[in-house]
């Protein structure tokens, strides 16, 4: 039963992150990058910020669930430990010094999949924005 709830939490948090990511990309695409020297750096900075927000959201879930019936992130004692663990999971780096135990592992698996998708989505978006900006500069 607890594992099923953990999977539902993982799906919910991932869905919220999809909405945040989509909204950020919509916002960044509405900004004119054409003919602006700072358009591409602002896009990249915005993408970095949204990734940190998503990592923070997953970290908040780990902090809230850790030490409950859902299990724990072994070795994580502070919120910053959970942020560090979340960043490791999000980027699929998986260092291994902090380890999830129990049903909370479902959230970690979902975060790894979501992070992989969001990083690829961001890279594709940044590439398109750079093509637009740099293509316009060459046309002048």
Q: What is the band of 36 on the pLDDT scale with cuts at 50, 70, 90?
A: low
CB 6 within 8 Å of CB 103 = yes
**Number of separate domains in the chain:** 1
Determine, yes or no, domain membership for 87: yes
Determine, yes or no, domain membership for 80: yes
Determine, yes or no, domain membership for 26: yes
Burial state string for 70-83 with b = 16 or more CB within 10 A and e = fewer than 16: bbbbeebeeeebbb
pLDDT digits (tens, 9 = 90+) for 65-83: 999 999 999 999 999 999 9
Determine, yes or no, domain membership for 114: yes
> In sequence order, what E strands does the chain have?
72-74, 99-101
- CATH no. for residue 40? 1.10.287.70
CA-derived radius of gyration, the chain = 18
Determine, yes or no, domain membership for 34: yes
- As a whole number of angstroms, the distance between CA 5 and CA 17 comes to 18
Cut 0.85: pTM above it: yes
Determine, yes or no, domain membership for 25: yes
CA 129: distance to chain centroid? 20
Q: What is the band of 137 on the pLDDT scale with cuts at 50, 70, 90?
A: low
Q: Which domain holds residue 125?
A: 2-131
Determine, yes or no, domain membership for 139: no
Helix pair 39-65, 105-139: axis angle to 10 deg = 170
Determine, yes or no, domain membership for 138: no
Q: What is the band of 39 on the pLDDT scale with cuts at 50, 70, 90?
A: confident
């Amino acid at each position: 039963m607890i594992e099923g709830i953990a999977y539902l939490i993982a799906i919910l948090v991932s869905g919220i992150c999809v909405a945040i990511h989509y909204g950020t990309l919509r916002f960044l695409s509405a900004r004119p990058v054409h003919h602006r020297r700072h358009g591409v750096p602002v896009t990249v900075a915005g993408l970095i910020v949204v990734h940190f927000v998503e990592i923070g959201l997953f970290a908040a879930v780990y902090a809230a669930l850790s030490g409950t019936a859902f299990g724990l992130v072994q070795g994580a004692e502070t919120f910053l430990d959970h942020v560090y663990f979340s960043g490791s999971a999000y980027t699929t780096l998986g260092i291994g010094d902090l380890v999830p135990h129990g049903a909370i592992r479902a959230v970690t698996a979902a975060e790894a999949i979501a992070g992989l998708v969001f990083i690829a989505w961001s890279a594709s978006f940044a590439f398109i924005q750079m093509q637009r900006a740099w293509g316009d500069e060459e046309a002048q």
